[in-house]
Homo-oligomer: A and B are copies of this chain.
Amino acid sequence: MDRISLDDLNRADMSGFVAALGDIFEHAPWVAQAAAAARPFPTLQALHTAMGAAVRNEGEDTRLELIRAHPDLAGKAALAGDLTAHSKAEQSGAGLDTMSPVEFETFHRLNTAYREKFGFPFIVCVRRHTRSSILAAFERRLANARAEEIATAVDEICRIAALRLDARVGAPDRLPVNGHLSTHVLDAHAGRPAAGVAVTLVELMGEGRERPVVEAVTNADGRTDHPLIAGRPLPIGTYELRFSIGAYFSARAVPLADPPFLDVVPVRFSLAEPEGRYHVPLLVTPWSYSTYRGS
C-alpha cells in the first residue's frame, strides 16, 4: 500500500484529511478532525504529537469513550470475528488468535477483573508485546490506581496510533516505533566470519512451548542478509537464538569430538525495549563461545 504523503495531508481539505486518518485512533475520527487545525505539520512527529494532544486535551469522559471503543484482548469480539482489520492483525501478531482454552480462560478472567475494577477494557499496544509480556503487564496494571490506568491506556492508544501513522504516512522523518535485532557469528578458530551457519530465532512462550520467529543462514560476513527483526517493534519477551555450530565446523573439516562438544548453541535472552537496537553476536570455537548484548 502506498503511503499518503505528509504534503498531501497538509494540503487536503478537512474531509480528505479525516478520510485519510480517521481510523488512526480506533472508532474516533474526531481525533483527526481536531488535529487538522494544527496544520501544516512539518514532520510526522508533529502530526502524531498533535493527535495525541487532541486526545489529552479532552475531558475524562471523552477519553474514556475513546478507551471503551477498543475491544477486549482475545475477547468475545475476537472470537466472533468482530474486530476492525487493524485490531485483528495486531492481535494475531502476538499469537492471541491461537491460544488454548486455558489461555482464553486466563485472558477472560483478567479482562473481567480489569473491567470490574476500572470500568473500561485493558488496552495495550499489542505489537510491542508477546503473549507472555501482555500477561505480565495485565497482572501489573491491575494493581494500578484508576487515574494512573486511564493515563496508561491513553499512552498505549497513542503508541498504537504511532504505528498506524508510521505505516500510513510518507514523510521526511519516521516515528521511532521500530526496533532492530541482529546477530553475527565469528569463527575464532579460523579468525574470520563464520559463513553458512544456520541460525534460528524462536520465541519462548513459557511452560516449554515455543514458536519460530525466523530462520536464516549467515553470509560471507558472518551476518544474516536481513536483520532478524526490523521494521517493527521488538515484542517484549524471551527468545532463543540457536546456532548450528557443529554442522558448521564439521563442514570445514575441523576435528571434533563425537558427538561434538558444541552442536546447537542456544543463546537465550529477553527483549525489553521494543524500539531498541539489539545485537547478539556469537564468538565461537568448537570448544568455547561468548555472547553479549552488542550494538
Chain A residues in contact with chain B, CB under 8 A?
Answer: 133, 136, 186, 188-193, 208, 221-222, 236-238, 240, 257-266, 268-270, 272-273, 283, 285-295
Contact = CB atoms under 8 A, between A and B. Distances in A.
B273 A269 contact: no
A5 B16 CA distance: 53
A238 B266 contact: no
Given A191-B261, A285-B285, A186 B270 contact: no
14 contacts: A188-B287, A191-B257, A191-B286, A192-B293, A221-B295, A237-B259, A240-B266, A258-B272, A261-B269, A262-B270, A263-B270, A283-B290, A287-B293, A288-B291
Contacts of A295: 186, 192-193, 221-222
Contacts of A221: 295
Given A186-B292, A285-B189, A238 B259 contact: yes
Q: Can you tell how many copies of this chain the complex includes?
A: 4
Contacts of A283: 288, 290, 292
Contact of A188 (B133, B188, B208, B257): B188
Contact of A257 (B261, B270, B286): B270
A208 B191 CA distance: 28
Contacts of A268: 262-266
A285 B208 CA distance: 25
A230 B136 CA distance: 41
A188 B292 contact: yes
